[in-house]
A and B are shown apart, each in its own frame.
Chain A
Amino acid sequence: MADRASTDVLRGSLDLLVLKTLSLEPMHGWGISQRVQQLSDGVLEVNQGSLYPALQRLEKQGLVTSGWGRTDNNRRARYYELTAAGRRMLGAEVKSWRRFAAALETVLRTA
């Protein structure tokens, strides 16, 4: 059940993590998954495949764009990039997440 809980939490915040990752630089799918794992010290581990439906969703919402590019070792890969809308959304989401986390923290502390 513990795994399941962490998955659910991640699912809700996956979009946020992707946006955050892409705010640093344009990146391909595998790179995003590596970066998320790296940044979270391996705590947030989900099926890497779930990243792609999330990317598709974000692209449909106009928060990211994508295009074919070349990796360092000259392989064709699809790179994702944050749009202006995506950057605004990230800002809003981060704020909202902080408020939520702070509220939760307050509750936990008093309880």
Chain B
Amino acid sequence: MRWLDAARARLRLIKRGAAEARMREEFDFHVDMETERRMRTDGLSREEARRRALVAFGGTERYGEEMRDGRGTAWLSGVSLDLRLGVRMLVRYPGLAIVGGLGLAVATTVATVAVGLISSMMNPALPLPGGDRMVMLQNYDTQRQDPNQSTHLHDLETWRQSLSSVEQLGAFRTVRRNLLEEGATPELVRVAEISPSAFALTRTPPLLGRPLLSSDERAEAGNVVVIGGDAWQGRFGGDPGIVGRSIRLGDDEFTVVGVMPPGYRFPVNHHYWIPLRLEAGAYERGAAPPVMVFGRLAEGASLEGARAEVATVRHGLASTWPEVYEGILPQVLPYTYPFFAIDKPGIARALLLGQALITLLLVVVGVNVAVLMYARTTTRLGEITVRTALGASRRRIVFQLFAEAFVLSLLAAVIGLAAGSAALRRISAMMQNEFSGEMPFWLTPGLTPGLALYTAGLAVLAAVIMGAVPALKATGRRIATGLRAPGGAGAGGRLGRTWTVLIVGQVAVAVAVLPLALQGAMQAMRYGTADPGYEADEYLRAFVSMEQEASQAAEADVPASGAFADAASRLLSALDRDQRVADATFAFHMPGKESTVSVTAVSGRASTDSAGGTVWHSVALNRIAPDYFAAFDKPILAGRAFGAGDAAEAARTAIVSRSFADRVLGGGDVLGRTVRLGGSGASADEQLLEVVGVVPDFPTNDMQDQQYPRLYRALSPTRSFNLIVRTRGIDPTAYTRRLREIAAQTSASLVIDEPIALDDAIEQEQGLMRMIALVVMLATLSVVLLSAAGIYAMTSFAVVRRRREVGIRAALGAPPGQLLRAIFARTAAQLAVGVAVGLVLASALDVGLEGSHAALLPLVAALMVAVGLAAAAGPARRGLRIQPTQALREE
């Protein structure tokens, strides 16, 4: 009903405008008539007559104001006055504005980003006609904790036959094909092999031609493809004769039969659709290639009803094929959920909880700022008291303080919203990279009206906590007390205990969390700025594999080794012949992206610890081409590089990095030594590797504090790999096109995926790391500032409360040192307790308290004490400056 409220508000505004206009016209009429009368009867000039008429009227503004009051719109000018006052207060108390504003802005930014992301992920509806009724059906394998491998064509058929609560059932899977055309750069496209029912399900008619039909599904029908409007415009120049034209995907010719409207990218982010021609009959139950199954809830059917029906169907299946459906849990989910693995109620709940917790973060910050505001409010008790005495209602005063807080929180919300939407844009771009073109089309994290409304709500919530609550408290029962002592000095007395707890808690949390945060930020920053140790701007990387169809023919996870090895070898030699290629090598992982394994030295000093147990080391393992090191300009320090024989399955050779030799093998001459790989599966013999060479450590931009030891084994191009091309005299990104052409000439079904210049890839990752570092730093800074401000306010209050005492003691000749000690004692005690609790918390949080983290603890503790004492110094100095006579007079 939001629109209704908005309409009402607008109506009120129009009415107000109309009343104002009516009043003006009436006044004008009156003055005109009076002017004419005076001209007529008194014989005056028009100017003089008008002047006298206005005098007789008594001031149009005055009566206008009186009428506005009568209409009940006077509060509006009151609001604007309150807001103006709020702005003035911000300027008058810049410390509070900066500290509170920063804290709120950081919290709002975090909340905006998190809620923006979570809500766009959790939005269950597709932006398509009837998108809220679309569902996905999947078999969740409870043993493998995996929903992706256990939904097959057989299930689709069963569901089609037996479900009445879900209609228009269909399935799809994504295959990658090379779009090849004479005279155009080969392009790797993601093609949806999909049931024709998808087009009826999405209720979107084609722009040209026809959608896929169920007759297209038959194996004997010709190859047909429907293309998306974006691809039609972008790739085919909007060719009006596209329908009927033939295009080539890999080794196959397809006839274009239809074009969908631009923006249509169902089921995930697809621009090409071909019929799904899997024959369930060709496979055993449970052994067909996995697919994703979609459908629409039937008229009147609920998600719960569909779930119950699917569960019943599963029961029947399990009795016929118990071994296939053992541990299988069929699920009916809102269409968008499986793509973010929201396939268990717990996950959805966790996401919602996350949203709530993040909102709570703002509440915590708000409470902190509220404490500071409260301090200011109580210093203004005198003013409030006088206003009350002059007849201001409590509501009026509370609203004034709310408005003042609202100015601050609104400012923070605007900053937070701007920063948050910038961050969301950045994250969205990074996600595009991460999904590499497969980002679900409905996922568009960014600034939405809903998000803006949420942030505005946060601002109001924060203002209520910061302004209205302290105001209610301050105006509650102390007004009478305040009237007796309008200086406000007596008012702060009772905040003591709550406040002490807050300050102690704040210091404790800061001490406990700051080392972790600092360490995290430092590590992120170090990684975000680290040099990889090679000329990253000279390399192009791409993932090389075969089109999925080829791999399915082999019915195995790895591509058909013969065909792929042949094509890959020809690709590598073609690249070697290219003048613009300095080196072309390959590896299973990219440098720095190796998987970790545990190893132990079989022969040598470091194999056992003092107790005689086996010492396992965590190391990074990569499988590489023989010329891998040469391509990165890394010399062989000892022993030899890999040869052709090392890549054979039977070969048990390894090359290790310098740090591996030192740390795992204990240094010295390590050639010929043996290491054992951890993990199960392989026989004891297969786990043993002989070291044949030593290379320098690289890359040098590891996430870890120290260099990861690296272990290398040889790889032959029999399975998909990362191709690494070092270009000569040409920008690596510019070489992408040529690489695709060479690959297409080598084999139509060789897939060149995600090509990217290495320095761009590194920059993407490092950029993210730097952003994380920045966010952590900002959050940390706001915690420190808030703590410092809290301590400042507290100490300042203590001193104000003790003005008289300090003054008298100074008059009696107490030395300043002693007075300072008295002032500092309380602060110091709070800081000490806070730091102590913080240290306990820190050791509880961080089990090990190892290395640099432990060293940071006392540093952070010292920092908090320093901040606290510095914050106390100002008020303490002011305390000393109190004149004894002044202190006494205040009685």
Kindly supply a per-residue 1/0 record for chain A positions 62-91, scoring 1 wherever the CB is within 8 Å of any chain B CB and 0 otherwise: 000000000000011110000000000000
| List of A residues within 8 angstroms of B26 by Cβ | 29, 52, 77-78
**Which of these, A28, A33, A53, A77, contacts B70 with CB under 8 Å?**
A53
Pick from B27-35, B300-308, B526-534, B630-638 the stretch touching chain A: B27-35
A50 & B58 in contact (Cβ 8 Å cutoff): yes
- Is A30 an interface residue, CB under 8 A from the partner? yes
Distance from A70 Cβ to chain B, minimum over Cβ atoms (Å): 12
Give the number of residues in B that approach A within 8 Å (Cβ atoms): 22
Give the number of residues in A that approach B within 8 Å (Cβ atoms): 19
| List of B residues within 8 angstroms of A47 by Cβ | 56-59, 63
| List of A residues within 8 angstroms of B66 by Cβ | 53
- Is A95 an interface residue, CB under 8 A from the partner? no
| List of A residues within 8 angstroms of B59 by Cβ | 47, 49
Tell me the complex Cα distance, A30–B819, Å.
75
Interface centre among A46, A49, A56, A78 (most CB of B within 10 A): A49
B67 & A53 in contact (Cβ 8 Å cutoff): yes
| List of A residues within 8 angstroms of B32 by Cβ | 75
Distance from A46 Cβ to chain B, minimum over Cβ atoms (Å): 8
Tell me the complex Cα distance, A33–B59, Å.
16
- Is A109 an interface residue, CB under 8 A from the partner? no
Closest to B26 in A: A78
- Is A98 an interface residue, CB under 8 A from the partner? no
| List of A residues within 8 angstroms of B33 by Cβ | 30
| List of B residues within 8 angstroms of A33 by Cβ | 30
- Is A4 an interface residue, CB under 8 A from the partner? no
- Is A48 an interface residue, CB under 8 A from the partner? yes
Kindly supply a per-residue 1/0 record for chain A positions 26-66, scoring 1 wherever the CB is within 8 Å of any chain B CB and 0 otherwise: 00111001100000000000111110110011001000000
- Is B605 an interface residue, CB under 8 A from the partner? no
Closest to B23 in A: A52
Tell me the complex Cα distance, A52–B63, Å.
7
| List of B residues within 8 angstroms of A52 by Cβ | 23, 26-27, 30, 63, 67
| List of B residues within 8 angstroms of A77 by Cβ | 26, 29
| List of A residues within 8 angstroms of B63 by Cβ | 47, 49-50, 52-53
Tell me the complex Cα distance, A30–B66, Å.
18
A49-B27, A56-B70, A56-B71 as given contacts; A78 in contact with B58, CB under 8 Å: no
Would you list which residues of chain B between 17 and 46 have a CB under 8 Å from chain A? 22-23, 25-27, 29-30, 32-34, 37
Tell me the complex Cα distance, A49–B27, Å.
8
- Is B62 an interface residue, CB under 8 A from the partner? yes
| List of A residues within 8 angstroms of B62 by Cβ | 49
B56 & A60 in contact (Cβ 8 Å cutoff): no
Tell me the complex Cα distance, A46–B56, Å.
8
| List of B residues within 8 angstroms of A30 by Cβ | 29-30, 33-34
| List of B residues within 8 angstroms of A49 by Cβ | 27, 30, 57-60, 62-63
| List of A residues within 8 angstroms of B58 by Cβ | 46-50
| List of A residues within 8 angstroms of B23 by Cβ | 52
Tell me the complex Cα distance, A5–B63, Å.
20
Tell me the complex Cα distance, A29–B30, Å.
7
Tell me the complex Cα distance, A77–B56, Å.
19
Tell me the complex Cα distance, A90–B62, Å.
28
Closest to A31 in B: B33
Tell me the complex Cα distance, A48–B33, Å.
12
A76 & B25 in contact (Cβ 8 Å cutoff): yes
Tell me the complex Cα distance, A95–B21, Å.
38
**Which of these, B29, B34, B37, B56, contacts A28 with CB under 8 Å?**
B29
Tell me the complex Cα distance, A46–B57, Å.
8
Tell me the complex Cα distance, A61–B70, Å.
12
| List of A residues within 8 angstroms of B67 by Cβ | 52-53, 56
B70 & A48 in contact (Cβ 8 Å cutoff): no
| List of B residues within 8 angstroms of A78 by Cβ | 22, 25-26, 29
Tell me the complex Cα distance, A60–B67, Å.
11
Kindly supply a per-residue 1/0 record for chain B positions 684-709, scoring 1 wherever the CB is within 8 Å of any chain A CB and 0 otherwise: 00000000000000000000000000
A48 & B34 in contact (Cβ 8 Å cutoff): yes
Distance from A81 Cβ to chain B, minimum over Cβ atoms (Å): 15
Tell me the complex Cα distance, A53–B59, Å.
13
Tell me the complex Cα distance, A53–B58, Å.
13
Closest to B29 in A: A77
| List of B residues within 8 angstroms of A53 by Cβ | 63, 66-67, 70
Tell me the complex Cα distance, A50–B37, Å.
19
| List of A residues within 8 angstroms of B70 by Cβ | 53, 56-57, 60
Closest to A78 in B: B26
| List of A residues within 8 angstroms of B56 by Cβ | 47-48
Kindly supply a per-residue 1/0 record for chain B positions 343-376, scoring 1 wherever the CB is within 8 Å of any chain A CB and 0 otherwise: 0000000000000000000000000000000000
Kindly supply a per-residue 1/0 record for chain B positions 523-564, scoring 1 wherever the CB is within 8 Å of any chain A CB and 0 otherwise: 000000000000000000000000000000000000000000
Tell me the complex Cα distance, A46–B30, Å.
15
A48 & B71 in contact (Cβ 8 Å cutoff): no
Distance from B283 Cβ to chain A, minimum over Cβ atoms (Å): 82
Tell me the complex Cα distance, A53–B56, Å.
16
Tell me the complex Cα distance, A50–B58, Å.
8
Tell me the complex Cα distance, A34–B29, Å.
14
Distance from B42 Cβ to chain A, minimum over Cβ atoms (Å): 14
A75 & B29 in contact (Cβ 8 Å cutoff): yes
Tell me the complex Cα distance, A28–B26, Å.
9
Using a CB–CB cutoff of 8 Å, the interface residues on chain A facing chain B are: 28-30, 33-34, 46-50, 52-53, 56-57, 60, 75-78
* New contact pairs (13) apart from A50-B63, A78-B26, CB-CB < 8 Å: A29-B29, A30-B29, A47-B56, A47-B57, A47-B59, A47-B63, A49-B58, A50-B58, A52-B23, A52-B27, A53-B70, A75-B29, A78-B22
Top 5 nearest A-B pairs (CB, nearest first) are A47-B58, A49-B63, A30-B33, A49-B58, A53-B66
**18 A-B pairs, CB-CB below 8 angstroms?**
A29-B26, A29-B29, A47-B58, A47-B63, A48-B30, A48-B34, A49-B30, A49-B57, A49-B58, A50-B63, A52-B23, A52-B30, A52-B67, A60-B70, A75-B32, A76-B25, A76-B29, A78-B22
